[in-house]
Structure 1
């Protein structure tokens, strides 16, 4: 199947705008599609895990320097920025792309499939761009080149941010957008707005989608350790059972979303992903551990859910004579805020996307309960941001059944490169007041 899709991708890349009259941005990007495709395939063959994107960072920095950008490297381990000063005074814009791959062994039959191997959590793993960050880097470099060619037309300045560790830093390390902020990514360039984009299997190639307000959920990781008293499984009354206690915490926590949060207002999710306790069938252990995630689109609902989870854990444990260590959330570094699209700026970007691609190719995005650290950039300096989605699933394939982002079968139709780059270029040109 994937060999057929690969051939279709090559055919689709060129006529990505066949249904609409190409805009100036689409025409500008068209000559760069083959180069972006080459970049993307090279990056796809050489994915790197979070905080290890050394080859990718070197590649990005070299290209930005060729384009005439002022380049800074080594931010948050491997992060790269490039700044271009426009020919006229005006606002400052930042455009961000993420660079890291995932500990996933690729199972897509492509001539440029990843064979990379690495280590994650002490175990050997395959590495794959299973979330499309290779495409983000390629598209964003294409936009950087196009803007450099039109430098004199730009009424304002632009900074490109190539960010490591969007998927999360390894345990015990800092990384991603929070560390870039901490290490002064904006110390010499404070943007007035920040744009970002992401390829998704949930949309067909040729279209983009965005929504004002909460586009992606906040995410908070939690860890709850229940401490009981160990005893023989034949005499449980002589101990305090942390497994039974933890099970009741899991059950009681289900009422937070179903009975406490007003889901007429916004949706929310509470998921337990780890339940770890005991080592032998006939021993009541001394502790059990729970881990999971809370997702929300409203800050008040987010804080209510976290507080209620802590309250339930503490009181259920007390009712069983156990104690609890509730790290809810686990840490600041394990949390991401709501990916919130500023409504006024979203309206401007939507108009730009419609100019670049045609109104028929710009859709209203559904909320997505996945999360991103992208909003931490804008929140750190209190500037508006917009984040839109680029369809990646080939024509003829139902996006509802296509392998999802993070799957070993995730397949990106390379027609997405022309679509995403043209949309982002038009948004940047319009924001910086360049002539079309």
Structure 2
């Protein structure tokens, strides 16, 4: 009886000790919140296109150095790596943010709205952070600042990854040189070699999701994306005499229709989905002339790798036979942007309690389907267990169905959500070491990938 009494007396003390260990997180987030908001608004007001993030890169390096974090640069042209060694032994963990903006004219009316213009693919254009990468960069800097101030509590090493050109490069042909930008170039340039992370975490702010809310799922969370370019060559002729020529427009119309059969008749839709979309068609100069050539561009998306590979393999053959049947020729080019972004199941499931610590279970949401967009974060998941979550960007009390979407001139990010993003990074670093062995065992055994 006395022993039970002693144990019961100790339990509150143990609970308090456990609680106090993590008590520093929320005050630390609060301490860096104002600075993070200022950083985000500054970056938003001074956006830079992919591969051209020179000033943003300089700002990131300056901030990291001021926190006492080791800085390395020269990856993927403007990429930055920060390294923070904790006081205790443990795993190497990577946190990723992207830095680039979009060729969009901002129409938000915000006091810190962008008025910047820059050269994109040889043409001057307006520039805007229309996808929230300014928030991603600022949130990771805020987390870095808080973690650096509390490195005595960290078990392991944190690698802060600031990646350029997730949206593509402004200065190169993204179709033929896609492997020279973004995450693929960061990897190729050795950003993950010394030290070598065993796990990586990333997040994306999303319009139409309430501020301060986290959305996650295991398995596929974003689609793959492959670029498609088709040239159809016929024989030019007067529109009144099509039998004397070879009509590439008529052939192209059949191609667009027949491509859909690769999904409706050949893809195993019990495994996932696929979609082929033609976004541009260019041909001809006059109404009464059947042209010599048609050029089309499009995109291929899927949330399952086997469906993706089936489409990529069969599409050129289908188009070539379609062309032959119409007496024309075709040139088909496919360029990969990203495979399916897939969350490691064991990692995702074991990290779920960490998200509820931030704003409670009512603001933590398990998604029942993946998003249709794509992310080159997917390439990191080929190297190590990865976890990618969505963070609500739309102010509470707003009609979520009417929020301007990402990549829209009126897209906004609620600054109030930044603190949730900061804490998400910190919680990942603090909680992952407790589950590292289980996650790595599953990874090495090729389970839950």
Name the structure 2 match of 1:8: none
Give the alignment of 1:236-275 within 5 angstroms. 236-275=242-281
Name the structure 2 match of 1:372: 375
Name the structure 1 match of 2:155: 155
TM-score (norm 1): 0.90
Of structures 1 and 2, the one with the larger relative CO (CA 8 A, separation 6+) is: 1
Give the alignment of 1:167-206 within 5 angstroms. 167-170=167-170, 171-172=172-173, 174-206=180-212
CA contact (8 A) 1:25 1:423 kept: no
Deviation larger for 424-433 or 197-206: 424-433
Q: CA separation in 2, counterparts of 1:33 and 1:72?
A: 25
Counterpart of 2:321 (choices 315, 322, 326) is 315
Deviation larger for 262-271 or 299-308: 262-271
Q: Tell me the SS of whatever aligns to 1:374.
A: helix
Q: Provide, for residues 383-426 of structure 1, a one-character-per-residue CA deviation record: whole Å limited to 9, x for no partner.
A: 10000000001112122221000000001111110111112211
Q: CA separation in 1, counterparts of 2:23 and 2:320?
A: 59
Q: Tell me the SS of whatever aligns to 1:209.
A: strand
Name the structure 2 match of 1:59: 59
Q: Tell me the SS of whatever aligns to 1:179.
A: helix
Name the structure 2 match of 1:45: 45
TM-score (norm 2): 0.88
- Structure 1: segments with no counterpart, 5+ residues: 1-21
Cα offset for 1:28?
A: 2.2
Name the structure 2 match of 1:414: 415
Cα offset for 1:24?
A: 4.8
Cα offset for 1:84?
A: 0.8
CA contact (8 A) 1:50 1:168 kept: yes
Cα offset for 1:264?
A: 3.1
| 1:363 correspondence with 2:365 | yes
Give the alignment of 1:97-112 within 5 angstroms. 97-112=97-112
- Structure 2: segments with no counterpart, 5+ residues: 1-21, 436-449
Cα offset for 1:359?
A: 1.1
| 1:113 correspondence with 2:113 | yes
Cα offset for 1:433?
A: 5.2
Q: CA separation in 2, counterparts of 1:31 and 1:287?
A: 61
- Rg: which structure is higher? 2
User: How many residues align structurally?
Assistant: 407
CA contact (8 A) 1:103 1:127 kept: yes
CA contact (8 A) 1:25 1:356 kept: no
Deviation larger for 218-227 or 164-173: 164-173
CA contact (8 A) 1:157 1:432 kept: no
